[in-house]
Amino acid sequence: MAGQNTAPGRKRPPVKGKPATGPSRSSGTGAYELLLARIENGDLPAGTRLREAELAQRFSLSRTPIREAMKRLEQQGLITHEPHHGGVVTSLNYNQIAELYLLREVLEGTAARLAAQHASDVEITLLQEMLEQDQTLTSTPTELAKTNRAFHQQIRDAGRNGFLAQALETLRLSLALLPGTTLGAPSRGAASVREHAQIVERIAARDPDGAEQAARQHIRNAFKTRIQLLQKRLPS
């Protein structure tokens, strides 16, 4: 009957027309995704001191989800606990950056090799369409960086290897600590899109060796640009 109370111990049926949404910002997961996004886009750059109370006020959250998020980020190496300072966004030295790019070259190369072997025709068409879109974004590094991540993720997914995908996702978290994007360097955006085109060409040709080599060269070029950007930051 309308208005009748639900029997004790019995759960109310779900309300129709209200599909489940993603994690709330007030949850630990929501706060984690929020802080990770701020680290990735440079809003919380390496070396930034993180205080629970300040972050809670800044993002209109309680301290509990912030604390949970910071603990998770610390476990992943994105936050370092320093004596007398507390949580600080981790800074990478030159050797660590070089190690990251070497590992990325191996993993991205393998992903492209597997994509050349396993990608469906639909997935190849999707990669080609993504390239067309990226050609219009070469003068907007921030937007190109977003589509760049999507492009590499699509290659990863087309490779059909869950363990490789997991390794690349873990690597992506560490790459979030790097300042800015190499796509902002002069001419790098257009060059990156051309390199992507070479990778897709080899995947479409079902050429695993060629796809891997093109992907490895792409990452080597990105590392070279990263070094050049780091050198510009050094005091004269």
82-135 pLDDT, tens digit per residue, is 887 789 999 999 999 999 999 999 999 999 999 999 999 999 999 999 999 999
Mean pLDDT, range 156-168, rounded to an integer: 96
Which residues, listed in sequence order, are joined to residue 80 by a DSSP beta bridge? 88
Residue 29 confidence class, pLDDT cut points 50, 70, 90: confident
Beta bridge partners of 86: 82
Percent of the chain with pLDDT over 90: 73
pTM of the model: 0.79
The whole-number average pLDDT for the span 172-189 is 91
CA angle 194, 195, 198 (to 5 degrees): 90
pLDDT tens for 121-150 read: 999 999 999 999 999 999 999 899 999 999
By C-alpha distance, which of 225, 100, 187, 203 is closest to 154? Answer: 203
What's the pLDDT score for residue 41?
Answer: 83
pLDDT(236) > 60? no
From 228, 221, 233, select the one nearest 101 (Cα to Cα): 221
Start-to-end CA distance of the chain, whole Å, equals 80
Distance CA 52, CA 209 (A): 49
pLDDT (average), residues 72-88: 88
Residue 23 has pLDDT above 70, yes or no: no
Instruction: Output the average pLDDT for the chain.
Output: 88
Helix/strand/coil (H/E/C) assignment for every residue in the chain: CCCCCCCCCCCCCCCCCCCCCCCCCCCHHHHHHHHHHHHHCCCCCCCCEECHHHHHHHCCCCHHHHHHHHHHHHHCCCEEEECCCEEEECCCCHHHHHHHHHHHHHHHHHHHHHHHHHCCHHHHHHHHHHHHHHCCCCCCHHHHHHHHHHHHHHHHHHCCCHHHHHHHHHHHHHHCCCCCCHHHCCCHHHHHHHHHHHHHHHHHCCCHHHHHHHHHHHHHHHHHHHHHHHHHHCCC
What confidence score (pLDDT) does residue 234 get?
61
Determine the Cα–Cα distance for residues 212 and 113; give it in Å rounded to an integer: 5
Could you report the per-residue pLDDT of 195-211, keeping only the tens digit for each? 999 999 999 999 999 99
The pLDDT, as a whole number, for residue 219 is 98
Ramachandran sector of residue 60 (left: φ over 0; alpha: ψ -120 to 50; beta: rest): left
Does the pLDDT of residue 225 top 90, yes or no? yes
Q: What is the mean pLDDT of residues 30-34?
A: 92
What span, in angstroms and rounded, lies between the C-alpha atoms of 182 and 189? 8
Q: What is the pLDDT of residue 42?
A: 84
Section 3-20 average pLDDT? 43
**Nearest residue to 214 via CA among 113, 78, 76:** 113
Domain architecture of the chain: domains with CATH: 28-89 (1.10.10.10), 94-233 (1.20.120.530)
